[in-house]
A and B are shown apart, each in its own frame.
Chain A
């Protein structure tokens, strides 16, 4: 059974880069869409972006200028970089995988990591 685990610094200074990694165990990165989602304190879910195993990526337009999602297949991991962070980027960050394999378009997010809290503060 596939499991996802987010990791990275819990505290990032304003204007710096937030970097998180999602480690995948029990399955490979192939044939699925993989997303990052965040949730600000007391707020709803916000989709950040995804990558597809073929190499394509797509980002939330509101974050696109600051976000990069990359993959390290050799380590079965994918990463999120969010540049020039502010207090508004303080949130719980989740990585997630589609429920269905080899779909032409993204679908329901069927597997989630437990989430990691990132605080932006000096």
Chain B
């Protein structure tokens, strides 16, 4: 079965750029979606199909995908960005989530 690998945690200083990687076999050939989840809340889609932002998501959020790694980039990180972030793909129409990365804004 297909697997997605994320680091357990990433830290970033407020105002700096956070990059959250998501690794998978030939992930560059798949569409990657990213979710933000704050404690006690449902996930929110922040990036779909590698690099598209849903309406209402700040331009500070961007995504890229190539080779074996997809990356969620959060520019000018704010305290309100502190959350868990999950990458997700569809592998032969089966949903697969990464294990999640806890972003800490220092």
A positions within 8 Å CB-CB of B:
35, 37, 44-47, 50, 58, 60-61, 94, 99-100, 105-110, 112-115
Contacts and interface: CB of A to CB of B under 8 A. Distances in A.
B93 to A, nearest CB: 5
B44 interface: yes
Nearest to B33: A108
Contacts of B35: 45, 109
A113 B42 contact: yes
20 contacts: A35-B95, A44-B99, A45-B35, A45-B86, A45-B88, A45-B100, A60-B95, A61-B94, A99-B54, A105-B93, A106-B93, A107-B31, A107-B48, A107-B90, A108-B45, A108-B48, A108-B54, A109-B43, A109-B88, A110-B54
B97 A45 contact: yes
Contacts of B49: 107-108
A94 B97 CA distance: 14
B95 A114 contact: no
Contact of A60 (B48, B86, B94): B94
A105 B3 CA distance: 19
Nearest to A48: B95
Nearest to A56: B93
Interface in B44-72: 44-45, 47-49, 52, 54
B24 interface: no
B98 interface: yes
A44 B97 CA distance: 8
A43 to B, nearest CB: 9
Interface in B67-106: 86, 88, 90, 93-100
